[in-house]
Each structure stands twice: as C-alpha cells, then as structure tokens.
Amino acid sequence: MKILIVEDEELAAKRMMQLLAEIEPGCELFGPLDTVSGVISHLKQTLDYDLIFLDIQLADGKSFSIFEGVQVNIPVIFTTAFDEYALQAFAINSIDYLLKPINKDKLIESLEKYKRIRKHFGGENPNNHLYELIKKLQAPTQSPFRDRFLINKGDSMIPVKANEVACFFAQDKVVTLITFENKHYIIPHSLDELEAKLDPRYFFRVNSQFIVAADAIQKVHNYFNFKLKVEIKPDPGTEIIVSRARTAEFKIWLSE
C-alpha cells in the first residue's frame, strides 16, 4: 500500500508515519507534504497512491482547495483538530476522519474501514462524490456563517448546532460555549473570531466577555451610566452588561 502523508505539524506527521509503519509494516510512506500548493504541485506529477492522510488545516490554507487545483481520484482519510467539514465529508462520502493527536486504535479502525470500502467497490475509488462536496462547501450560495461547531471531548467529537448555543463566554483567555441545556464546552476560538463567523441576526457581541443568542435573552434592564443588564437562560453565573457604546445598536438588533 502506497500512502501519502499531508500534515504541516512535524510531530503529528512523525507520529502518523511511525504508527503506520507499525500497523502496516509493508506499506510505502511518502511525505510529509505541508502546504496546499506543494500538494497540488506534487499530485500533478504523480497520482500513484492508494491512500492519502490529509490534514484539513495546512500552512497556507484548508486542504479542500487542493481538489480545485488537481483532480485526485485517491481515497482520503482526513485528520483534524477541530473542523466541522471533516464530519460532513465523512457523513456524505464515506470518508473517515481522525482526531489529532492520532490514537493508534482509531487509526487501525480507520484503515480497516478503508480496506472494507475498497473491497466493496472492487478496488475502485470510494470517494466518487468528493468533488461535488467540495463545490457544495465552497459554493457562493452557501451561508458565510457557521451553523455548527465540532467539540473535541477526549477521543470523541460532539457536533453542536449554532441554534443550540445560548452564549459564548470569555474569561482568562478561555472561551466557553454554553448551550440552552446548560452544557459547557471549551472551544479554540476567540470572541473576535466568533463574532466574524456567527450570523448577526441571531448573535450579538454585548461586551468583551459575551456573545449572546437572541433566543436566550429573558429580560433586559436599564443599568448604571446608560448601560443595559441582560438576563439570559441558562444563567452563566456572572452579570452580562451591554457596554455603553453598544447599547443603541443592541436595542435596534433586539427589536428587529
């Protein structure tokens, strides 16, 4: 089996290659390649691989764009630290994914699944609809806002829809996603990043600590110095005060 490793983290790439050498001692390993442009250039020269392990976030962008630059009729197993696209790719195209850091048992399961799929398709490429997926994900008509989050929890990944989120709370450089069911998840995004990715019709950045969902708001009170105090459900355990500079904008947003 000839396997290409695409990974921009040196330690992650080294671990992947060590594990594959242990699990599949007869396999030929190539790479690692660490950029979208480098992978495109390489695959234009050779497509003689049985399988590609493909990190979603590379040094110069998301690896989905590789499929715009070169047609790749090779099965792909995605690796990712945090990205909802991996779950979509797996669900729609029978493409597996691995959560970093790579777990040996999960890698074995992933390889076994690949072999079963190859056998089922008689050795043909099982990723026939991968290119349609990439086009769909990047189509101009697709909403630019996030509609789900993929939460890392141990060796598992938990999808949380945006409409299940009551608020995002930042404290000591740690951002917590709080759901309407009062479940708390730490996520690797700043409030600035989230503010740019969330649909402004449903979420509002009230201050430096909170982004709140419209459906979570229970009451709004006048507060000292022309500010506003917001009550949401579930209660995050700390006061939510709309900064004076954002009060007028918040009232307009809430009344729309």
The answer to whether residues 171 and 56 belong to one domain is no
Residue position matching structure tokens 């029978």: 94
Neighbouring CB atoms inside 10 A of 161's CB total: 11
pLDDT of 96 reads: 76
By DSSP bridging, strand 51-55 and strand 57-58 are unpaired
Beta strands in the chain (DSSP E): 2-6, 28-33, 51-55, 57-58, 61-62, 76-80, 97-99, 148-153, 156-161, 165-171, 174-179, 184-187, 203-205, 210-213, 217-223, 227-232, 240-242
The answer to whether residues 249 and 182 belong to one domain is yes
Q: Is 89 helix (H, G, I), strand (E, B) or coil?
A: helix
Domain boundary residue, one of 119, 138, 157: 138
Domain boundary residue, one of 83, 105, 138: 138
Residue position matching structure tokens 């790719």: 89
Burial (Cβ within 10 Å: 0-12, 13-18, ≥19) of residue 219: exposed
- Helices and strands in the chain, H and E counts: 8, 17
CATH of the domain at 133: 3.40.50.2300
pLDDT of 122 reads: 55
Confirm if 124 and 117 have CB atoms less than 8 A apart. no
Burial (Cβ within 10 Å: 0-12, 13-18, ≥19) of residue 4: buried
Beta strands in 56-155 (DSSP E): 57-58, 61-62, 76-80, 97-99, 148-153
Q: Is residue 233 part of a domain?
A: yes
The answer to whether residues 99 and 169 belong to one domain is no
pLDDT of 186 reads: 92
Domain count, the chain: 2
Q: Is residue 143 part of a domain?
A: no
The answer to whether residues 55 and 160 belong to one domain is no
pLDDT of 138 reads: 47
Cis check: omega of the bond before 234, within 30 degrees of 0: yes
CATH of the domain at 197: 2.40.50.1020
- Which pTM value belongs to this model? 0.51
Could you tell me the residue range of the domain that residue 171 belongs to?
148-255
Q: What is the pLDDT along the chain (256 residues), one digit of tens a residue?
A: 899 999 999 999 999 999 999 999 989 999 899 999 999 999 999 888 989 998 888 888 888 788 778 887 788 888 887 655 555 555 434 467 788 888 899 899 989 888 877 776 555 555 554 445 544 544 444 567 888 898 887 777 889 999 999 999 999 889 999 999 999 999 988 999 999 999 999 999 999 999 999 999 999 999 988 899 999 999 999 999 998 889 999 999 998 7
Q: Which of 73, 78, 25 is nearest to 49 (CA)?
A: 73
Domain boundary residue, one of 112, 138, 164: 138
pLDDT of 143 reads: 62
Burial letters 143-155, b for 16+ CB under 10 A, else e: eeebeebbbbeee
Angle at 21 between CA 15 and CA 26, to 5 degrees: 160
The answer to whether residues 245 and 192 belong to one domain is yes
Q: Is residue 42 part of a domain?
A: yes
